[in-house]
Amino acid sequence: MEPQGFRYRQVEKQIMALIDAEAIRPGDKLPSLRKLSSQLGVSIATVSQAYLELEKKGVLASRERSGFFLAPRALQMPAPASRPRPAMVPTVGTRSHLIQQVLEALGNKQLLPFGVACPAEELLPAKTLARLLNSSLRNNPARALDYAPVAGDPELRQQIALRSLEAGISVTPAEILITSGAMEGLSIALRALTKPGDNVLIQSPSYFCFLQLLENCGLRAIEIPSSTSGIDPRDVQRAIERFQISAAILVPNFNNPDGSLTGDAKKGEIVALLAAHKVPLVEDDVYGELYFGEQHPGSCKSFDNSADVIYCSSFSKTIAPGFRVGWMIPGRHYAKALELKTTTNICTAAPTQMAIAAFLRDGYFERHLRRLRSAIHNQMEALLLSLHRHFPAETRASFPDGGASVWVELPTGIDAVDLFFRAREMGIGLAPGAIFSTQEKYDNFIRLSCTGIWNQAMEEGIERLGALVRQMN
Amino acid sequence: MEPQGFRYRQVEKQIMALIDAEAIRPGDKLPSLRKLSSQLGVSIATVSQAYLELEKKGVLASRERSGFFLAPRALQMPAPASRPRPAMVPTVGTRSHLIQQVLEALGNKQLLPFGVACPAEELLPAKTLARLLNSSLRNNPARALDYAPVAGDPELRQQIALRSLEAGISVTPAEILITSGAMEGLSIALRALTKPGDNVLIQSPSYFCFLQLLENCGLRAIEIPSSTSGIDPRDVQRAIERFQISAAILVPNFNNPDGSLTGDAKKGEIVALLAAHKVPLVEDDVYGELYFGEQHPGSCKSFDNSADVIYCSSFSKTIAPGFRVGWMIPGRHYAKALELKTTTNICTAAPTQMAIAAFLRDGYFERHLRRLRSAIHNQMEALLLSLHRHFPAETRASFPDGGASVWVELPTGIDAVDLFFRAREMGIGLAPGAIFSTQEKYDNFIRLSCTGIWNQAMEEGIERLGALVRQMN
């Protein structure tokens, strides 16, 4: 971690705000290091680092002995605004076959990783985890080899209880149930709360595995919009007044794919509305730790007075997706969830639980998260700049305050499923918008992930993808 | 592994057969080492080892300079025969609350481990696994940290395909789907094959998690008897003629809890019968590798011509339950199973899959299994001898040809649930018969496991348990 980590970041943001407000225009010279340093009350080194970072991302250009200039085109891409509202009717069905093909492409390491929604392995703590796995097995073979308790490793639950305070959740280890990733928590939650034929409230767009899960459970989706400012409580109200709804699955923090953040005040309103209508809420918070701001966003669970919010999260986006360690806080549905966990797979693997417990206990997590958030934030800015350089001018993209992906609206008429297959041929991974809804609302959208360190191959990949989009336009 | 491993074992069996046939009676002197060695055509060392093993188990006693005698009471416990036939009617419901309490007790390391149905950790290869886990993460961090393919680690599927030949199953890696233990495979299989309200054929008694699974899926159980000679194809026929059945879950090899083995010819008949009525079969073979005889028992899957048998197994009873690595061969239900695996938890943990693949690839598995089978066989004999010494004479017990537990019928009138709670107070784990059926058929049965190295504490535990049973009688 750079010593002045957060300060240069703030300076970067202040400069970006000036660019946004068009106070600086392409070609303009930026203030000298000395001048900006005294204006902002930070060191010259901090300003210098901010300038250098912005230069790396292509926002600024430097000319010898003349200082920094705003590069000809900068980060100025409008957010997807024209997105159509989903029809508020119960809908079934996903594009299962397409989803399987997307999933296979996501697993294909030969493709540029714009399809994958979790951090690249060079950002993950492989050596520390190898050591912790090894020592878990050597120091405590009984605990690592035998079945873990159905509810999960006690030390891991302890560590998660401590960590939950970050999301405003006060919980005891006994209220936590370890799952093999957050997806398992969602699957258990839905099976605990619904029966086939029931309606479930979801955001639109939503993570495609939610839609598959609903289909596999015989459930119908009621889709409400997920705008740049997250979920609107009025949409929730309209939906629960109009339909008999058995549960809601929402992602208030950095919804996949659009990255939208539902503010904490709105979270409180939504929880109160759902509670008044006795609709249990399943909250998926897998991206909550990947915030770019100063503060951990809150959670719906923290507003839960009736123990009717089932909170689900995991370490898949932060420590290691392949470890399959997540957790749920099922509130008053705990006993049912525990029984369903038993018949799902008895318990989650013990060694990976122990290694992650040790990772948290020994203080690696917070340091690792600081690095990871900064890397993903940088990567996202680099991706957006690259899109700006290479994609048609009508392209719109979200610039979320966290998460790991950007939601891109291509010019109308471009078929993103077609683009997915053509891009795959060219060695480029991406997720087509069609799989994120049961309705045909996102046919010209794609999700692009920012999960690795930006490099020349990625820059060229976006350039080729942009050329393809122009050609299809 | 002892060099003459199998030979002394055979001699042991020959002696046991003589005892069974009452050709040797309590107090009788056994033939001298030299005499038996020439009679059987084996070395004196082999006979000597067989005598010493039988002495360790309490079957024989030795007197200085006078050789070996048959100990006063030997392994002569009749198998449970009086067990009532289950009523052949669709039944729902388990004793969920009781099962949760049993599961908690099974996880309690303070209790003597007669409740646990998987090998004690001193029989498991902790150090080798620690090394393989560590090297998997160090040599191939990308594969260990990232999501595994939904279908599972390719090398592990390759190794399992090779290994499947042992159970008579010829399969390619692409037909295998890795699951987090066999339970997950069963859960996926049932969700693929049935809808709530359907009937499912099971053995009686059956593993209690099957019953919980049926209940959680809203299914009804049709129970057919699991006798000492396994499943009778005529019972299968009667059931499918009488009821509309959506699937069968059977454990042909060493059914948990009674250890019964359904012979390979019967397996073929059952598969043909089910296929003729288009009833898919879910075959659970988790105990198949724990055979005590010379030969791996076959599988129903090997008779499957219509790809309608879903074979499920795991490494939980052989390598490490806590690793949660199992697999399924879903036949023509592959695509549906893969989709359900995705929405269950995306994939199984990668590092544990890789460690187990390496364990198989590097040739550890076969050697380890030889040791393990021998240890569990010894332990089972020791347990049966101990039961014989300490339990009332009316007690009956199964002596299966494999598996890891003994099914004990206590004198009529003894409430095994009551016994479970009283034994737990005394620090002794066991599983009460009531949880192995949806009907009240096994109220005076208990399952006792033989998963560790026999020791004085276990001997004393069985003695105290026997005293408790006598007191309750």
For chain A, say whether B145 makes contact (Cβ under 8 Å): yes
What percent of chain B stands above pLDDT 70? 95
Query: Does pLDDT of B267 surpass 90?
Result: yes
pLDDT, tens digit, for every residue of A69-95? 887 554 445 667 545 677 777 777 667
- Eight-class DSSP state of A314: E
For chain A, what is the largest distance between any 2 Cα atoms, rounded to a whole number of angstroms? 70
For chain B, say whether A253 makes contact (Cβ under 8 Å): no
Over residues B452-461, mean pLDDT? 91
Spatial separation of the C-alpha atoms in residues A156 and A175, rounded to whole Å = 12
pLDDT at B2: 41
Spatial separation of the C-alpha atoms in residues A319 and A314, rounded to whole Å = 9
Residue B349 to residue A107, Cβ atoms within 8 A: no
**Residues of chain B found within 8 Å of residue A356, distances taken between Cβ atoms:** none
What percent of chain B stands above pLDDT 90? 66
**Residues of chain A found within 8 Å of residue B316, distances taken between Cβ atoms:** 147
Query: Does pLDDT of B473 surpass 90?
Result: no
Residue A324 to residue B340, Cβ atoms within 8 A: no
Over residues A361-383, mean pLDDT? 93
Phi, psi angles (nearest 5°) of residue A386: -65, -40
pLDDT at A35: 87
Spatial separation of the C-alpha atoms in residues A265 and B3, rounded to whole Å = 73
Residue A322 to residue B350, Cβ atoms within 8 A: yes
pLDDT, tens digit, for every residue of B91-143? 776 677 888 888 788 778 889 999 887 888 889 999 999 999 999 999 999 89
**What residues contact B41, with CB distance under 8 A and at least 6 apart?**
none
Q: How far is B92 from chain A (nearest CA, A)?
A: 16
CA A146, A149, A151, A156 dihedral sign is: negative
Bigger pLDDT: A85 vs A187: A187
**Residues of chain B found within 8 Å of residue A134, distances taken between Cβ atoms:** 130-131, 133-134
Residue B31 confidence class, pLDDT cut points 50, 70, 90 = confident
Out of A146, A148, A322, name the one closest to residue B148 (CB): A322
Over residues B155-176, mean pLDDT? 94
For chain A, say whether B138 makes contact (Cβ under 8 Å): yes
Closest residue of B to A118, CA-based? B146
ipTM of this predicted structure: 0.85
* This prediction's pTM: 0.86
Bigger pLDDT: B2 vs B176: B176
Q: Determine how β-strand A199-204 pairs with β-strand A247-250.
A: parallel
Closest residue of B to A126, CA-based? B141
Residue A187 to residue B343, Cβ atoms within 8 A: yes
CATH number of A125-365: 3.40.640.10
Q: How far is B151 from chain A (nearest CA, A)?
A: 10
Q: How far is B379 from chain A (nearest CA, A)?
A: 19
pLDDT, tens digit, for every residue of A118-145? 888 889 999 999 999 999 999 999 899 9
Q: What are the C-alpha distances in Å from A71 to residues A17, A37, A57, A264, A382?
A: 15, 21, 10, 37, 14
Query: Does pLDDT of B57 surpass 80?
Result: no
Q: Does domain A5-70 have CATH number 1.10.10.10?
A: yes
Please identify among residues 88-127 of chain A the ones whose CB lies closer than 8 Å to any CB of chain B.
96, 100, 103-104, 106-107, 109, 118, 121, 124, 126-127
pLDDT, tens digit, for every residue of B386-420? 998 899 988 888 888 999 999 999 999 999 999 99
Over residues A401-411, mean pLDDT? 93
pLDDT at A2: 41
CA A95, A100, A105, A107 dihedral sign is: positive
Residue B345 to residue A324, Cβ atoms within 8 A: yes
**What residues contact B208, with CB distance under 8 A and at least 6 apart?**
B94, B99, B102, B431, B435, B436
CA A426, A430, A431, A433 dihedral sign is: negative
CATH of B96-122+367-472, one of 1.10.10.10, 3.90.1150.10, 3.20.20.370, 3.30.450.20: 3.90.1150.10
Bigger pLDDT: A339 vs A116: A339
For chain B, say whether A59 makes contact (Cβ under 8 Å): no
Over residues B414-435, mean pLDDT? 94
Please identify among residues 206-235 of chain B the ones whose CB lies closer than 8 Å to any CB of chain A.
209, 212-213, 216, 218
Burial class (CB in 10 A: 0-12, 13-18, 19+), A1: exposed
Residue A145 to residue B187, Cβ atoms within 8 A: no
* Mean pLDDT rounded to a whole number for chain A: 90
**What residues contact A17, with CB distance under 8 A and at least 6 apart?**
none
Spatial separation of the C-alpha atoms in residues A390 and B433, rounded to whole Å = 69
pLDDT at A273: 97
pLDDT, tens digit, for every residue of B222-251? 999 998 889 999 999 999 999 999 999 999
pLDDT at A93: 65
How many C-beta atoms surround the C-beta of residue A365 within 10 A? 19
Locate tokens 């930026």: which residue?
A30
**Structural domain boundaries in chain A:** 5-70, 96-122+367-472, 125-365
pLDDT at B4: 45
**Residues of chain B found within 8 Å of residue A137, distances taken between Cβ atoms:** 126, 129-130, 133
pLDDT at B3: 45
Query: Does pLDDT of A374 surpass 50?
Result: yes
**Residues of chain B found within 8 Å of residue A338, distances taken between Cβ atoms:** 100
Residue A209 to residue B320, Cβ atoms within 8 A: no
Residue A65 confidence class, pLDDT cut points 50, 70, 90 = low
Over residues B208-220, mean pLDDT? 93
Angle between helices B334-345 and A182-193 (to 10 degrees): 100
Query: Does pLDDT of B63 surpass 80?
Result: no
pLDDT at B285: 97
Spatial separation of the C-alpha atoms in residues A209 and A212, rounded to whole Å = 5
CB A224 within 8 A of CB A369: no
The three state secondary structure string of chain B is CCCCHHHHHHHHHHHHHHHHCCCCCCCCECCCHHHHHHHHCCCHHHHHHHHHHHHHCCCEEEECCCEEEECCCCCCCCCCCCCCCCCCCCECCCCHHHHHHHHHHHCCCCCECCCCCCCCHHHCCHHHHHHHHHHHHHHCHHHHHCCCCCCCCHHHHHHHHHHHHHHCCCCCHHHCEEECCHHHHHHHHHHHHCCCCCEEEEEECCCHHHHHHHHHCCCEEEEEEEECCEECHHHHHHHHHHCCEEEEEECCCCCCCCCCCCCHHHHHHHHHHHHHCCCCEEEECCCCCCECCCCCCCCCHHHCCCCCEEEEEECCCCCCHHHCCEEEECHHHHHHHHHHHHHHHCCCCHHHHHHHHHHHHCCHHHHHHHHHHHHHHHHHHHHHHHHHHHCCCCCEECCCCECCEEEEECCCCCCHHHHHHHHHHCCECCEEHHHHCCCCCCCCEEEEECCCCCCHHHHHHHHHHHHHHHHHC
Query: Does pLDDT of A56 surpass 80?
Result: no
Out of A121, A142, A180, name the one closest to residue B146 (CB): A121
Helix (H, G, I), strand (E, B) or coil at A459: helix
For chain B, say whether A162 makes contact (Cβ under 8 Å): no
Out of A209, A324, A339, name the one closest to residue B348 (CB): A324
Spatial separation of the C-alpha atoms in residues B72 and B28, rounded to whole Å = 9
Out of A103, A134, A149, name the one closest to residue B133 (CB): A134
Residue B81 confidence class, pLDDT cut points 50, 70, 90 = low
- Helix (H), strand (E) at residue A140: none
What percent of chain A stands above pLDDT 70? 95
Half-sphere exposure of B219 (CA within 13 A, CB side): 28
**Residues of chain A found within 8 Å of residue B180, distances taken between Cβ atoms:** 180, 324, 345, 348-349
Query: Does pLDDT of A331 surpass 70?
Result: yes
CB B97 within 8 A of CB A126: no
Best mutation target, B98, B133, B179, to test chain A (most A CBs within 10 A): B133
Bigger pLDDT: A65 vs A75: A65
Over residues B344-361, mean pLDDT? 97
Rg (alpha carbons) of chain A, rounded to whole number: 23
pLDDT at A229: 85
pLDDT at B283: 98
CATH of B126-365, one of 1.10.3720.10, 3.10.20.30, 3.40.640.10, 2.20.25.90: 3.40.640.10
pLDDT at B94: 66
Residue A4 confidence class, pLDDT cut points 50, 70, 90 = very low
For chain A, say whether B134 makes contact (Cβ under 8 Å): yes
Out of B147, B180, B196, name the one closest to residue A349 (CB): B180
